Chains A and B, each alone.
Chain A
């Protein structure tokens, strides 16, 4: 696989039925696409779900996947969005092992990224950070000089700006 393959943002609006997620996942796996992140959540009404998927791959393969997903009976819409047309957010929780001596610098980093401390013990701290995926990457990178015990990220969710449909 070519390292330079672009990452794509896909938003899928789908009827909330059993099997819908597997059918969509199969459209990716059958064509050798690796899903980098996948977020499923209820849509504006309970009958529908919103899936946000980020995946790396070539354009031709992606076009196939979009069309294969679009033709699934349960799928109402499947769209690709460039980074520019959407608001993108991700939430991350980072647990760092810190003692009293290190805590100050960790909090300084957290402050810089506007992360919140959501749990604090003698030996550890859990930070909550929200923003673009690159921002989360940057903060995690800086925290690597300490011991990151656990890292949980939600994966990217996106919404089209202005009048655009997600």
Chain B
């Protein structure tokens, strides 16, 4: 269970997260929607321990992210895919995917290589294992980013606007893989602007607005007129997003 408990985060005078509560059970796909600056990415950065909390608690399978001694265990249980890929440019695709399994999970190189190659195969990059990130397209890079996360066999996959830097074609490439993962029962926390896609794959949808969690509803309810849409802020957001 991934638990976000009354989390507060401020950058100087600016409050970014203002008492957020969220629980994700294994097997769930939860999408976080909200306009830019609503605190979505910051929430992900808090969960994977990149930001220090100003209040509240985040636990990943009972390991407290805020405690330095438990952070490394918590980090082993989740893996992040980044908006701008954040690949290591000096390493080949294979090197990118195997670094953490070898160094953190202490897997033998042969085993890590085999896992990585299988993962790359499954996202259609079987023949690019020895390429460098600079030689790949954006969509390919993000698929590598996903493989890098999956190679850690995470219990929770954190996806931070993973398609925001991609054109529609590449977005489709990446979303197809995520849909497959969702179907396989991967637990995912999915920060996105792809509302239709979120609707298709999520069990629940969470709406963040100005650092506050406005609603946390099962997907069907979120889009129902008497559910999430009853909230004027959400109705406004969705109507604007759907115009394009």
The judgment on whether A and B are partners is no
